[in-house]
Chain A
Amino acid sequence: MIGKFRRAAEAAGAEVLEARTPEAALATLARILKEEGVGAGGRTAVWPAGPLRQRFHPEILAQMLPGLVLEVTREAAAAAHVGVTEFEWGAAATGTLVQDASAVAQRLASTLPPVHVALLPAGAIVADIGAALRRFDPARAAFLALVTGPSRTADIERVLTIGVHGPRRLVIVLYGQEAGHA
């Protein structure tokens, strides 16, 4: 399932990284932020609340991820270079990330910065979008967000161009073990 998800996500223009444990995921995230220059020259990243973030004490996050802003306002997100968000489900057939984005911080962090890092438990990958949608009750989720690859356009002479209004780079970090594994 992970392999299928990876191939589909990469075909859609996303990068897929794997981390065995939550700690390894954090280390991977730290590497990506560093690579993007976050923490240097006033470059920031935003990461709204999510299950992985909650596992770590803010002081550890501040230490490991310099430049990270945990209070995700409209202004903070608009100013950030990287947005980190956590997704609930992945759809293998299309490489799609699915998230209840009713909390506006999730949408701000995933739409405004030029780089988007999506964190997804490897055990949450299901067959397709239909299977992922069946795990949500629309009456409880005011904004379901499905994300497949970076922002793209082909509106000028049909030439594919990445990163028009949303992120130009999408990195998916899969962490933990695939469902069905011990």
Chain B
Amino acid sequence: MPEELRELVRRALAHPHLSAALTRFSEDYRMSRARAYKGIDFEALRERIAARKAAAAEHLEELAARFAAAASARGAHVVRLDAPGDVHDYILRVARRRGARLVVKAKSMATEEIHLNAALAHAGIEVKETDLGEWIVQLARQRPSHMVLPAIHLTRADVARLFSRETGQTLEAEIPQLVRVAREQLREKFLRADIGITGANIAVAETGSLVLCTNEGNARLVSTLPPVHIAVVGLEKLVERFEDIEPILAALPRSATAQQITSYVSILTGPAEAAGGGPKEMHIILYGHRRAAMAADPVFREALQCIRCASCLNVCPVYRLVGGHVFGRVYTGAIGTVLTAWTEGWEASRGLEQLCIQCGACRDACPARIDLPELILEVRRRAAHAVTPPLAGRAAFVLIGNRRAFHAALRAAALAQKPFTEGPYLRHLPLFFTEAGKNRRLPALAAEPFRDRFPRIGQPRSARRVALFAGCLIDFVYPEIGEAIVRILNRAGLEVLFPEAQTCCGAPARFSGAPEAALANIRDNVEALPGDGAEAVVSACPTCTVALQSDAARVAQECGDAALAGRAARLAEKVVDFSTFVHRLAAEGSLRLPSGADLPAVTYHDSCHLKRTLHAAQPPRELLQSCGYALREMQESDVCCGMGGSYSLKMPEVSAAMLARKLRMIAATEAAGVAVDCPGCLMQIRGGCAAAGAPTRVRHTAEWLASLLGPAH
């Protein structure tokens, strides 16, 4: 990550109120959004939107032509332009012809993208943003930090200062008064403006209609009062049919601001009557730029489904710490990371893709069902190819890709660490060998890895066998979790196999944009698993489970190895996460777990992959409760703990802030223990508790359950 971005992150984290304001917002948003969607089948709704928008993305130019024909027939001037400079020139030509001196604007991301205000100002034309947030940001000479709430990073005191400077009055930091001042100041501009410029939320090809949503009513004034209306519309706003408005209109306000509907929705089809009588002069610029290239890209076409609701920002645990001036350029957050790579190039956006912790919260929230984490990984992969990775980084992935060398290195490190182990300063294993691990304390590797301890475990023989996939953390750092799993499965009458040729699941390499190393891991694991007669492959690390269950076959396919992809897909069918599997054993009666008396209350932390990819939030909770643990839910139990694999190494400050918050949530429950299903989360949270001197016991669900089985023999 470029040092300047790192510096911006540090500054944002040190900002006196930025994180606090954004975090309060995201907490409120989570609840109010849920209320706004009450009674609505969100999955069905976003399925409809995704289908309509995906169909549109496949036929962008065709829809643009249909839109142009329909809107022209109604009397609008429609042009299809690509270069930002061409859009500037077109608008300036209109402005010169009209002798325009003042332009009023409603909020439009497309005009932000082409830096239209600067171009107009350069030509001597006064431009006024009229959305309150945009106007504030304009007065502050900044760019919006959020697509829907542009000035969320500023306080009322900041606004009072800006307005005082603009009006020459001394204004108090009192919000109703500031809003009144904005109304008065801008009203005069509305009435005097020569041209009104808007964007559009939706553009309907079959009718040539534009849909504009605002709460303030400024788009109505901008499109009604001046004699000329120019709409700058990104091609991604196109949908085919008038009826496609409906699902988007149902989702956009709910996802953007948790409203049922915005105060105003205007649907413009050709020029309406102008304020001075007679038809208005209406220009519609269908703006393409890199969108055509995105539409032609089989992976990134999906990003054109975006309806610009900004929910991916609102639910992002990183965005709420650093804000949009750090996490993005014109477009911010998850979708901003993807769009910036396209609109400004891989070089300009370099590093943004590293801010994503891959927790998947945005994928769950996206009303257009865009797989944002996956697109960001693709940005990472392509960015990695665009720039030569540092040598140490590459060497590390060669090492991770070679199981024997990798495991030998881990064993050597376990010996070498001895003089240095102090406290639980532990980090994700494979990445420990990369550049990111430099200058950090060695992870406290177990003196004896699980693979060496396993043969000594006395197991009953059984016809029912399962293979255990340990993953690096359980194998080399937390072998006791592996032993707990074996005990539980043995109690269900299962014999556990540990195929020794298993290696890293491939996720660290894949997440770092090194698919070749991931492919080597997949090859080894497909060779080693499931093992002799095993009915299932059980993994107690959700990241590994997802890597084996869904990513392995995809990576193999993407790397062009169809045979390996087929084998990986067959293996995937047998892979199951620990809690789901044990819950199933209990449900079918093969496993009876003892229930303890006077057990401590525990709180449960949902790991990202278990909750959002494997959808297994309930099984561990039910298992714990069935054994007699009282469950005390923490607030935002499913918000990422900040571990994120190598993330905690690459972005230690962000990771630490996320962890600090998680620890506060845990402390607030006053539970004696924390249960997690992911050894990565366990490492992060246990380390955090220890560093904070908290007595809280942090254990894997398997350990909480196994502890009721009595002492191990």
Interface residues of A (CB under 8 A from B): 8, 11-12, 74, 78, 93-94, 96, 101-104, 107-108, 111-112, 129-130, 133-134, 138-139, 141-159, 161, 163-167
Q: Is the CB of A158 within 8 A of B263?
A: no
The digit string for B443-468, where 1 denotes a CB below 8 A from any CB of A, is 00000000000000000000000000
Complex contact A165–B221 (CB within 8 A): yes
The chain B residue with its CB closest to the CB of A134 is: B243
Tell me if B263 and A157 are in contact (CB < 8 A).
no
12 new A-B pairs (CB below 8 Å) besides A139-B269, A164-B216? A93-B260, A103-B273, A104-B224, A104-B274, A143-B266, A144-B267, A155-B136, A156-B156, A157-B175, A159-B175, A164-B217, A165-B186
Given A108-B224, A133-B246, A156-B136, A142:B216 Cβ within 8 A:
no
Q: Are A139 and B74 neighbours in the complex by a CB distance under 8 Å?
A: yes
A-contacting 9-mer, from B176-184, B366-374, B624-632, B679-687:
B176-184
B276 contacts partner chain A, Cβ-Cβ < 8 Å: yes
- The residues in B between 229 and 264 inclusive whose CB is less than 8 angstroms from any CB of A are 242-243, 245-246, 249, 257, 260-264
B215 touches which of A94, A142, A152 (Cβ 8 Å) = A152
CA distance A8 to B259 in the complex (A): 11
The verdict on B656 contacting chain A, using a C-beta distance below 8 Å, is: no
Main secondary structure on chain B at its contact with chain A? mixed
Residue from the list A102, A130, A151, A156 in contact with B216, Cβ < 8 A: A151
Query: Is B293 an interface position by the 8 A CB rule?
Result: no
Q: In the complex, what distance in Å separates the CA atom of A169 from the CA atom of B156?
A: 24
Q: B159, A165: Cβ atoms under 8 Å?
A: no
B482 at the A interface (CB under 8 A): no
CA distance A141 to B160 in the complex (A): 42
Given contacts A138-B204, A156-B159, A157-B156, contact A164 B179 (CB under 8 A): yes
Query: Out of B149, B209, B217, which one reaches A151, CB within 8 Å?
Result: B217
Judging by beta carbons under 8 Å apart, are B176 and A161 in contact?
yes
The 5 closest A-B pairs by CB, nearest first: A166-B217, A155-B133, A142-B272, A146-B265, A143-B272
- Give the number of A-B contacts (CB < 8 Å): 162
Q: Are B275 and A166 in contact (CB under 8 A)?
A: no
**Structural contact, B216 and A157, CB atoms closer than 8 A:** no
Across the interface, do A156 and B74 meet the contact criterion of CB distance under 8 Å? no
Q: Report the minimal beta-carbon distance from B257 to chain A, rounded to whole angstroms.
A: 7
In B261-300, which residues have CB < 8 Å from any A CB? 261-277
Contacts of A157 in B (CB 8 A): 21, 155-156, 175
In angstroms, Cα B243 to Cα A130, docked, is: 8
Contact (Cβ within 8 A) B267 A150:
no
Contact A138 B207 (CB under 8 A): yes
Task: Say yes or no: B267 contacts A138, CB within 8 Å.
Answer: yes
Please, what's the 1-or-0 string for B599-617, where 1 marks a CB less than 8 Å from any CB in chain A? 0000000000000000000
In the complex, how many angstroms separate the beta carbon of B535 from the nearest chain A beta carbon?
A: 50
User: How near does chain B come to A140, taking the closest CB pair, in angstroms?
Assistant: 9
Contact A148 B207 (CB under 8 A): no
- Asked, given contacts A94-B261, A104-B224, whether A163 binds B183 with beta carbons under 8 Å apart, the answer is yes
**Pairwise interchain contact A111-B74, C-beta atoms closer than 8 A:** no
Contacts of A8 in B (CB 8 A): 260
Q: Is the CB of B264 within 8 A of A146?
A: yes
Q: How far is the CA of A107 from the CA of B223 in the complex (A)?
A: 10
A108 touches B263 (CB 8 A): no
Give the number of chain B interface residues (Cβ < 8 Å): 62
A142 and B268 contacting across the interface, CB-CB below 8 Å = yes
Q: Does B42 sit at the interface, judged by CB under 8 A?
A: no
Inter-chain contacts of B150 with A (CB < 8 A): 155
Complex: A166 Cα to B266 Cα, angstroms: 14
Contact B260 A164 (CB under 8 A): no
B497 in the interface (beta carbon within 8 A): no
B525 interface residue, CB < 8 Å from A?
Answer: no
Interface residue? B152 (CB, 8 A): yes
Q: How far apart sit A142 and B136, CA to CA, in the bound complex (Å)?
A: 32
Choose among A12, A111, A153 the residue that contacts B260 (Cβ–Cβ < 8 A).
Answer: A12
Complex CA gap A155/B134 in Å reads 9
Contacting pair A111 B217 (CB below 8 A): yes
Q: 19 interchain pairs (CB within 8 A)?
A: A8-B260, A74-B276, A94-B260, A111-B217, A130-B246, A133-B245, A134-B243, A138-B207, A138-B242, A139-B269, A142-B74, A142-B272, A143-B268, A156-B151, A159-B156, A164-B132, A165-B187, A165-B217, A166-B220
Q: Contact between B263 and A149 (Cβ–Cβ < 8 Å)?
A: yes
B553 an interface residue at 8 Å Cβ cutoff? no
A152 to chain B: which residues have CB within 8 Å?
215-216, 263
User: Smallest CB-CB separation from B224: which chain A residue?
Assistant: A107
Which chain A residues lie closer than 8 Å to B90 at the CB level? none
Q: Mark B6-30, 1 if CB is under 8 A from A, else 0.
A: 0000000000000001000100100
The residue that B263 contacts in the complex, of A78, A142, A148, with Cβ under 8 A, is A148
Expressed in whole angstroms, the minimum distance between the Cβ of A107 and any Cβ of chain B is 5
Indicate if B225 sits at the interface (CB-CB under 8 A). yes
A73: shortest Cβ distance to chain B, in Å? 8
Q: Which residue of A lies closest to B217 (CB)?
A: A166
Residues of B within 8 A of A161 (CB): 175-176, 179
Task: Confirm or deny: B580 has a beta carbon within 8 angstroms of a beta carbon on chain A.
Answer: no
Interface flag for B521 (CB, 8 Å): no
Task: Enumerate B187-217 residues with CB–CB distance to A below 8 Å.
Answer: 187, 190-191, 204, 207, 209, 215-217
A161 to B263, CA, bound (A): 13
